[in-house]
Structure 1
Amino acid sequence: MKPKKTELDAHSAKNQQLDIAAVRERLKATKGREYWRSLEELAGTPEFDEYLHREFPEHASVWDNSVDRRGFLRLMGASLALAGLGACTTQPPEKIIPYVRPPEQLVPGKPLFFATAMPVGRQAIGLLAESHMGRPTKVEGNPSHPASLGATDAWSQASVLGLYDPDRAQVISYQGRIRSWSAFQLAASSEVTSLKNTGGQGLRILTESISSPTLRGQIQDLVTLYPQARWHRWEPAHEDSRTRGTIQAFGRPLNYYYRLDRARVVVSLGSDLLCEPMTGVRYARDFMQKRRISDTSKAEMNR
C-alpha cells in the first residue's frame, strides 16, 4: 500500500522547482547564524508563507473572535465568584472536648509506634505501625522480628490504606438493603437461640490458615460452645507438598528456611525465592546482605 500524502508532502511536490540563485543571494546578505526548517522557508516563497499562516495548519480551527479579552476576563471573574459562593456553606456545629484523662504518652503532633504483625498464610510479618492521635498512618518493618528484620513488602505498605478505604461498608445491609443495628441484633439473637437448642448443628465456619492466636482462640471458644459446629480451613495455594516432603525426609512436618546470607551462588528452578508471600521479605534482605561489600579486601558478591 502506498502511504497517504499529507498536505506538507503535496506542498513540497508543488514547490520542487526553487530559485537557487535567489536563495544564494539571500544567504550572502545574511550576517551571523541563521536557522531555517526547510529550503522553502529559506527561499521565502509566497506559497510557503501561506502554508504557515497558522501555527498548526493541519489541525487549527478558524478563530472565533466573538469573545474579546475584556469579555473573557469578565467571564473568568464571574466563575471565580460563583466558586467562592459555593464554598461558603454553613458547616454543622461540632464540639471539641479535651481529654479529662488523656491516654498515656499521647501528645498531639508526636507519633507513637506499636509493634504488630501482619498475618500471611500460616506465618506473619513483623511490623511497626506509626500512629497519630490513635490513627495508624504508616507501616514499616520491625528490625527485631526474624521474619522481616526491618523490611516490608508492597502488601504491608498498602495494608494501612484498608483502614481508610471509602469502599468499606459503612452500614449494615441485608440482601442489598440497609438495615439498622437493632434489626441486626434481633436477627442474630434469633439465630443464636436456634443454635443453642441444636448444639450448633448445621453451623459451618470456613476460614483460611490462621496464625493469629487471638482469632484461633475465639473460634475454638465458639466451637466449644456449639459442639455440633464444624470449622473448616482451606487454602487455594497451600503448602501441603512442602509438608509431605519434610515428613518423607525427616519423619515429621517441619518448616525449612534458606540461609541466603551465607550462600555464594543461588540457583532457583521454577521458584521465585525473593517474591514468596511468606518468606520473600526475609529472603530478599538476606540475599542483599551478600551483595553489600563491607571489607574491600574480600570484595566478593553472591550471584
Structure 2
Amino acid sequence: MHIKETFPELYRIRRRPLSIEGVRSRLTNKRGREFWQSLEELASSEEFEELLHREFPQHASEWDEGTDRRTFLKLMGASLALAGLAGCSYQPPETVVPYVRQPEEIVPGKALYFATAMPWTGGATPLLVRSNMGRPTKVEGNDLHPASLGAADVFAQASILSLYDPDRSETIVNRGEMRTYTSFLGEIATALEGQRTKNGAGLRILTETVMSPTLAAQLKDITTRFPGARFHQWEPAGTNNARTGTRQAAGDFATPIYNFAAADRVLALDSNFLECGPGSLRYARDFASRRRTSDGDERETSRLYAVETTPTNTGFFADNRLAVRPSEFNAVVSAIAAGVGAAASSPLTFA
C-alpha cells in the first residue's frame, strides 16, 4: 500500500517543500555521527514534532504520578472482600472411600515403577513408568535394557499425555453411536455365527502393524477357525519399503540391527536413524561413542554422510549432507551403488 493510505499525516508533511536552509543551520554545530530516519526528522519542523507527539495515545508522553496510598488501600480492601465472598460459596460434599482390599504394593505417597514397552512399527522402545496411586505420572528409559540403556526420546516422554487426553475414546462407538462392551460382544458373536457356514469368507480384519505376540496369537487363532477370513495391516507412514528392500537383499522379511559403534563410515539414505525408529536410542548412543575422542581409544572418529529429500536431525549431524529432490533420489542412489561396485539401475541425472 502507498504511504498516502497507510500514513496520511506524514504524506502531507512530505508534500510540503522542505527548508534546506533550516536543515543546514541544524547541521552547522553538529559534531560526530548522528542518524535520522528522514529529512523531516532532521529538519524537526513543528508539524513533524506534533506528528510524533500524536503518534502515541493522549498524555502518554507526560509523567504519570501513579496511584496514591488511599486509592491503593481501597482497591486491596475490595479485592480481599471479593476473595472472602468467593471462599464462602457452597461446596458439594465429597466422600473419601478407603480400599476394601488394599493392594499390598500400593503405599500412599510411595511411587511404583513398571517395566513396559512402547510399540513402534518394526519394534518397541523399552520404558520404565512411574505410577503414583495407580496413575502413571512419568516415563523414562529402562536402563537394564540394551535397546535404550536408560534413555527415552521425545515420543516416549509425550506418550504420558495421551493417557489424560480428554478426546481419548472412553467407550465403544458404532456408526457414530456409543455402545457398551456387552452389546459389542453380542453383535460380534452373532456376526461370527453367520460366518461359520462360509468358513469366514466374508470376514475381514484391518489393523495397524501388530507387534504384540498376544494379539498376533489371537489373530492366528481367528484365521485358524475361519480359513476364509483375510487379515490386512496398514500404516499411514510405515516401513513397507524398508521391509521390502530387506526381503530383496536377505531373501526373507527381517529387521536389520546396525552396530554404529563399529562403523568408520556411515551412509544414511533418506534415513533418520538418530531420531525415529525402535532402535534410534541405541543407535544414537553408539554413534556418539565414535564421535567423542577419549584417552586410550585408537579408533578414528567416524564420518556420517547423508542423502535426503527432507531435512532431518540425522542430516543436521552429518559431516556431508546432500539434499536432493524425490525425483532425483533413485539416480543418486544408483550412482553411489555403481561407485562401490554394485550395479546401477539408472544413470545419475539432475533436473
Using the size of structure 1 for normalisation, the TM-score is 0.70
Given that residues 126 and 147 in structure 2 are in contact (C-alpha distance below 8 angstroms), is that contact kept between their aligned partners in structure 1?
Answer: yes
Q: Report the equivalent of 2:94.
A: 94
Given that residues 128 and 142 in structure 2 are in contact (C-alpha distance below 8 angstroms), is that contact kept between their aligned partners in structure 1?
Answer: yes
Alignment of 1:214 onto 2:214: yes
> Could you tell me how far 1:135 is from its partner in structure 2?
1.4
Superposition map of 1:223-262 within 5 A: 223-224=223-224, 226-228=225-227, 230-236=229-235, 237-238=239-240, 239-247=243-251, 254-262=254-262
> Could you tell me how far 1:283 is from its partner in structure 2?
1.5
Alignment of 1:19 onto 2:17: no
Deviations 1:73-109 (A, max 9, x none): 99xx79x959x76x98755543211224432332333
Given that residues 117 and 126 in structure 1 are in contact (C-alpha distance below 8 angstroms), is that contact kept between their aligned partners in structure 2?
Answer: yes
Superposition map of 1:279-294 within 5 A: 279-294=279-294
Residues 25 and 99 (structure 1), Cα distance of their counterparts in 2 relative to 1, 3 Å cut = same
Q: Report the equivalent of 1:8.
A: 10
Range with bigger deviation, 114-123 or 103-112: 103-112
* Distance in 1, Cα, partners of 2:253 & 2:171: 44
Unaligned runs of at least 5 residues, structure 2:
61-66, 304-351
Alignment of 1:114 onto 2:114: yes
Deviations 1:161-211 (A, max 9, x none): 221121122334332233455544543443354456665453222333322
Superposition map of 1:127-142 within 5 A: 127-142=127-142
Unaligned runs of at least 5 residues, structure 1:
28-34, 64-68
> Could you tell me how far 1:263 is from its partner in structure 2?
2.0
Given that residues 22 and 43 in structure 1 are in contact (C-alpha distance below 8 angstroms), is that contact kept between their aligned partners in structure 2?
Answer: no
> Could you tell me how far 1:281 is from its partner in structure 2?
2.6
Deviations 1:28-63 (A, max 9, x none): xxxxxxx9988867876432332233243xxx6999
Identity across the alignment (%): 40
**What is the DSSP-based 3-state SS (H/G/I as helix, E as strand, rest coil) of the residue aligned with 2:53?**
coil
> Could you tell me how far 1:231 is from its partner in structure 2?
4.9
Residues 254 and 192 (structure 1), Cα distance of their counterparts in 2 relative to 1, 3 Å cut = closer
* Distance in 1, Cα, partners of 2:188 & 2:92: 35
**What is the DSSP-based 3-state SS (H/G/I as helix, E as strand, rest coil) of the residue aligned with 1:191?**
helix
Given that residues 206 and 234 in structure 2 are in contact (C-alpha distance below 8 angstroms), is that contact kept between their aligned partners in structure 1?
Answer: no
Amino acid of the structure 2 residue aligned with 1:240: T
Residues 267 and 172 (structure 1), Cα distance of their counterparts in 2 relative to 1, 3 Å cut = closer
Of structures 1 and 2, the one with the larger relative CO (CA 8 A, separation 6+) is 1
Using the size of structure 2 for normalisation, the TM-score is 0.61
Deviations 1:227-259 (A, max 9, x none): 345352434532122023112xxxx65543221
> Could you tell me how far 1:217 is from its partner in structure 2?
2.5
Given that residues 202 and 228 in structure 1 are in contact (C-alpha distance below 8 angstroms), is that contact kept between their aligned partners in structure 2?
Answer: no
How many residues align structurally? 276
Given that residues 196 and 226 in structure 2 are in contact (C-alpha distance below 8 angstroms), is that contact kept between their aligned partners in structure 1?
Answer: no
Given that residues 129 and 136 in structure 1 are in contact (C-alpha distance below 8 angstroms), is that contact kept between their aligned partners in structure 2?
Answer: yes
Q: Report the equivalent of 2:105.
A: 105
* Alpha-carbon RMSD: 4.3
> Could you tell me how far 1:22 is from its partner in structure 2?
6.9
Given that residues 204 and 232 in structure 2 are in contact (C-alpha distance below 8 angstroms), is that contact kept between their aligned partners in structure 1?
Answer: no
Residues 227 and 46 (structure 1), Cα distance of their counterparts in 2 relative to 1, 3 Å cut = closer
* Distance in 1, Cα, partners of 2:107 & 2:10: 69
Given that residues 293 and 301 in structure 2 are in contact (C-alpha distance below 8 angstroms), is that contact kept between their aligned partners in structure 1?
Answer: yes
Amino acid of the structure 1 residue aligned with 2:10: L
